[in-house]
Amino acid sequence: MYPETFARFYDLIYHQMRDHVDLDFFLDEIDRTRGRILEVGSGTGRLFTNALLHGADIFGIDISESMLKVLKSKIKPDDYYRVSNQNILDFRFDFKFDLIIAPFRVIMHVDKKEEQLRALNNVYNHLNNNGKLIFDTFIPDLGQLINGLKDVVDFEGEYEKGRKVRRIVSTKPDLINQIINVNFRMEWDENGTLKTKEWKIPMRYFFRYELEHLVERSDFGKYKIIGDYQGNELNNNSKEFIVICTK
């Protein structure tokens, strides 16, 4: 669950850190899709609002009410029906989709293998024939897995004129359970007072063949894994696993 503080600064941080990485890739997939689209983990609408502007028939779900509150502030009330507070494990719609995307590490928040399989099969059941699921994970940096991070400032900027916010990240790896325990600390100037807020989250990392085994155990019969958002095959320089499953 994303706390209100994180939702408040999410756009400021991730429009700068993330848009140039994956936005065009997912919007191209959305533009090529003629039917309904679902974004799992729509958050504050970084992709969702752009898709609406492109004329997409898109729906969005997220488990965080605070993130959805920000998203709804950006869209017309007539479009509120398109977003709902649901979980990838058990979301329900009475219609199906031609494309379902779970961008920016959604699957890494599902840490139990039986729930990962449940999530994939729930998505499968909500796709039309020949529909696609696309999700991504990062390729683990072995050095960071072993050593972790300690108080790394990964963002600093102004959220209002003359008022700064920064985010400090620490990680502690759990190698046996393949979990990265991430601690985010937000520090910002609020009317001359330094405010701080911490948020802890476990993230489940994956390796290539583990992902392949997971998808092959699911109801999906066809898939491929590429190594970046330009469509290149996996190689030793790849930083991403982008998994494209077809019903």
Over residues 122-174, the pLDDT tens digits come to 999 999 999 999 999 999 999 999 999 999 999 999 999 999 999 999 999 99
**Side chain identity at residue 82, one-letter code:** R
Looking at residue 76, its pLDDT comes to 97
The answer to whether the beta carbons of residues 137 and 240 sit under 8 Å apart is yes
Which residue in 70, 86, 74, 120 sits closest to 100, CA to CA?
120
pTM: 0.95
Mean pLDDT, range 110-115, rounded to an integer: 96
Radius of gyration of the chain from Cα atoms?
A: 18
Which residue in 114, 89, 241, 109 sits closest to 181, CA to CA?
109
Which residue in 52, 44, 167 sits closest to 104, CA to CA?
44
Helix axes 113-125, 208-217, angle to 10 degrees: 50
List, in sequence order, the alpha helices (H) in the chain: 4-17, 19-31, 48-53, 65-72, 113-125, 142-147, 208-217
Taking the C-alpha atoms of residue 127 and residue 99, their distance in angstroms, rounded to an integer, is 7
Which residue in 220, 219, 214, 163 sits closest to 193, CA to CA?
163
Q: Per-residue confidence at 1, pLDDT binned at 50, 70, 90?
A: low
Query: What pairing do the DSSP bridges indicate for beta strands 240-246 and 127-138?
Result: antiparallel
Render pLDDT for 199-215 as a digit per residue (tens, 0 to 9): 999 999 999 999 999 99
Render pLDDT for 216-235 as a digit per residue (tens, 0 to 9): 999 998 999 999 999 999 99
Give the up-direction half-sphere exposure of residue 243: CA atoms within 13 A in the CB hemisphere.
28
- Write down the mean pLDDT value for the chain: 96
Instruction: Describe the chain by its helix, strand, coil percentages, rounded to 5.
Output: 30, 35, 30
What are residue 158's DSSP bridge partners? 164
Tokens of 149: 């991070």
